[in-house]
Structure 1
């Protein structure tokens, strides 16, 4: 009897998976445990293995199909066995695959648009010139060897020189490099054409070239699926279903920078060399949330759920898109433990090996764009969480010190919260407490 291969369930929150590619074809002989296909959830990628040894009798879904978990995606057995009873009846199932071969999509070749270049018209230069043409060229400072002649056999005559103007070396180089047309008259001394004169006619030349191109040129269509589809849906739902408000402030970063420097210079046996500024911010956030339970909460329609423990989500930029792993019971960890867990989860996200269950259950989120130089932004809530903290770059800020002004490095902080669940005053106090903890981080660590 043929053995069915099911789309496995990857975590309690995963309802479907997208088949990225099949590694086998119908008719191939496989062994138990061999990878049959690679699939993608909204959180990670993994391989589906053969559940038995035998011949691949049927592949029921093509690549790019979005298949519900626990559905039959393939059948393995002995050649000639009837697998009609195993074939799913839903519309997404592929009923066009012939036995012995799986449908392969032809690679999409993206054609680059042909860009029309703007070039000056070519001239026919023979080197022949009349005596009068030579005399006039000498008076006007025209290089007669560059003038195209209109006389018999391409001979340069007086009117050709009269129509020509001297061109400065800079203008000639610019015209050649950028394909600009040389005007008939220049604004330089003696009517010489300068580089500035070329720009006077450049807009017309560019407009003419643009008009000859096919609009809008080559485009690339990208299907919205996988992580991108999930992020898009959640962000839209978050903005439509919550009353979001963002508060911005900054914190004195001298203590954070000083502590980070100590960690970098500490001996290896101290075990703090890998602690980053982001780890420090996460640790300060956890300590602050302990004082403001109204922000360590979920807004669930007609009720608000506050959590005793902090399950901290943090945004990770991956090749597949934005992912938010959750550090569970982060409030029970030391800074060193927090740093190690952060790195473990971030690495798993980037490599696509993250456990889907590790991407849910957060009570508060931190997203850090400081390394990209962002000074202030508006984070979007990871609903139903009540708050999300945006961490910005460290920039010098003028601070009054008596009658003098001192420039002190400050870290930008942007807190978005659900105003339906929390008021502005506690949100502002949360940021004030964060400023205090970051400004004296070693005291925060000791406490």
Structure 2
């Protein structure tokens, strides 16, 4: 019996997918629940498993676009585990290609040029290394005669000395280039970023944060925190908590435009941008405003692990009212992050650098970070954007405020 392997339903709005990598070759025997291939949707890569054991026969090639529910392969369950590749067709030897003997190319001389030089003159000029075209013929029709050839030998024709251009050494090393098909995820990222760039009135405001007290807090409680909750206290949970508090105080930063209406949210679903081998994904932390720091840390660790393993579900990446991205892990000092539409704002974190700053009239060295808020000016005014970023700065520079909510 043969059963079809189809593209499963991946998400509500997803109608097609792109055929990814085949894990099993054509005609190979597959076991039940064994992964046979991957299909790529706009948001995630989905692994397809065999429903039954049998011989695999592929119906789609890598890179093909298939509708949801479309057949990509069939499995012949009547086949056993023996080598299924030994089909009669494959056993037949390919006919040997007939050997084609190529005749050596004969250099042809234009008859017109050949007729204008007598055989004797041609022999004389050839031995002297003089081109017959450079010799003026005195014979009928301009034919080069023996006398003309001898005259050329006596100095009548001077061969021009060819000056070779100075040779420059080519740069060492190979100069290769390659083309790689864009994955569905990469094409979706490109389209969404371009839509956000052209579809919003995006502006970025900046501030800087003194993280001295945050570093002291982590150093003081990192061991007891990890012992109690089984996870370390990182910067991201503190930034997420500070952002969730600021979002409740500046609701426009947590809103979005839907047609002619503005949708305000009384919850903070914060997306954390995670870089993976296949591209950037943004899993969502639901109701971050209600979570404690250790709950945020555990949620971030779980979602980031799934993202790097390509195991995130569509629901875990859908929605979101605000996004945080951390270019500091790659060494970025300052950037203008692009809004994750249809959201209206995104917070950009950067690297921490010890810099001299003036505090109470004294120059001291402090761990400083530039932070950036890119926002949609159609919905967020300048006052609101600056207020939001200043509030995040206050909460991080004095972390006890997050506990006291002041």
TM-score range, shorter chain: 0.7 to 0.9
Q: Distance in 1 between matches of 2:178 and 2:212?
A: 46
Q: Are 1:22 and 1:38, in contact at CA under 8 Å, matched by a contact in 2?
A: yes
User: 1:323: how far off?
Assistant: 0.9
The reply to whether residue 439 of structure 1 matches residue 397 of structure 2 is: yes
> Contact (CA 8 Å) 1:228, 1:321: kept in 2 or not?
yes
CA contact (8 A) 1:11 1:355 kept: no
Structure 1, gaps ≥5 residues long: 81-97, 102-203
**Aligned match of 1:335 in 281, 286, 293?**
293
Tell me, in whole angstroms, the C-alpha distance in 1 between the residues paired with 2:246 and 2:404: 14
1:414: how far off?
A: 0.3
CA contact (8 A) 1:43 1:354 kept: no
Q: Deviations over 1:172-197 (max 9, x none)?
A: xxxxxxxxxxxxxxxxxxxxxxxxxx
- 1:47-58 superposed matches below 5 A: 47-56=47-56, 58=57
The 5 Å alignment of 1:13-412 reads: 13-56=13-56, 58-77=57-76, 208-210=168-170, 217-266=175-224, 268-271=226-229, 274-412=232-370
User: Tell me, what secondary structure is at the counterpart of 1:238?
Assistant: helix
- Cα distance, 1:404 vs structure 2: 3.1
Q: Secondary structure, in 3 states, of the residue corresponding to 2:168?
A: helix
Contact 2:19 2:66 in 1 (8 A): yes
* 1:345–1:402 Cα change, 3 Å: closer
CA distance in 2, matches of 1:100, 1:308: 65
Deviation at 1:329, TM superposition (A): 1.5
What is the TM-score with the length of structure 1 in the denominator? 0.66
**In structure 1, distance between residues paired with 2:77 and 2:296:** 52
CA gap 1:28/1:284 in 2 versus in 1, 3 angstroms: same
For residue 33 of structure 2, give the secondary structure of its aligned residue in structure 1: coil
Q: CA deviation at 1:29?
A: 4.3
Per the alignment, do residues 262 and 403 of structure 1 end up closer, same or farther by CA in structure 2, a change over 3 Å counting? closer
In structure 2, relative to structure 1, the CA distance for the partners of 1:299 and 1:100 (3 Å cut) is: farther
TM-fit CA distance, 1:32: 3.6
Residue 8 (structure 1) aligns with: 8
Decide which structure has the larger Cα Rg and report it. 2
* In 1: Cα distance, 2:2 partner to 2:391 partner: 64
CA deviation after TM superposition for structure 1 residue 284, in Å: 0.8
Contact 2:225 2:233 in 1 (8 A): no
Tell me the secondary structure at the aligned position of residue 359 of structure 1.
coil
Q: Which residue matches 2:150?
A: none
What SS class does the counterpart of residue 227 from structure 2 fall into? helix
- SS of the equivalent of 1:383 reads coil
Cα distance in 2 for residues equivalent to 1:357 and 1:99? 47
Query: What is residue 383 of structure 2 aligned with on the other side?
Result: 425
- C-alpha change, 1:408 and 1:34, in structure 2 (3 Å) is closer
> Alignment partner of 2:375: what SS?
strand
TM-score, reference length from structure 2? 0.73
On the 8 A contact 2:306/2:312 being kept in 1, the answer is: yes
Whether the aligned pair in 2 keeps the contact of 1:264 and 1:273 (CA below 8 Å) is no
Contact 1:310/1:364 (<8 A) preserved: yes
Q: Residues 415, 34 of structure 1: CA spacing in aligned structure 2 closer, same or farther, 3 A cutoff? A: same
Q: Distance in 1 between matches of 2:225 and 2:233?
A: 13
Q: Distance in 2 between matches of 1:273 and 1:79?
A: 50
1:78, CA displacement in angstroms? Answer: 6.3
Structure 1's 259 and 401: CA in aligned 2 closer, same or farther, altered over 3 A?
A: closer
> Alpha-carbon deviation of 1:100?
7.6
The answer to whether the Cα contact below 8 Å between 1:26 and 1:100 also exists between their aligned partners in 2 is: no
- Deviation of 1:267 after TM superposition, in Å, equals 6.5
CA distance in 2, matches of 1:291, 1:298: 16
Q: CA RMSD in A?
A: 2.8
> Displacement, 1:436?
0.8
Shift of 1:275: 1.4
Structure 1 residues 339 and 402: CA distance shift in structure 2, 3 A: closer
Deviation at 1:13, TM superposition (A): 4.3
Unmatched 5+ residue regions in structure 2? Answer: 80-86, 91-164
Shift of 1:66: 2.8
SS in 1 for 2:392: helix
CA drift of 1:248 comes to 0.7
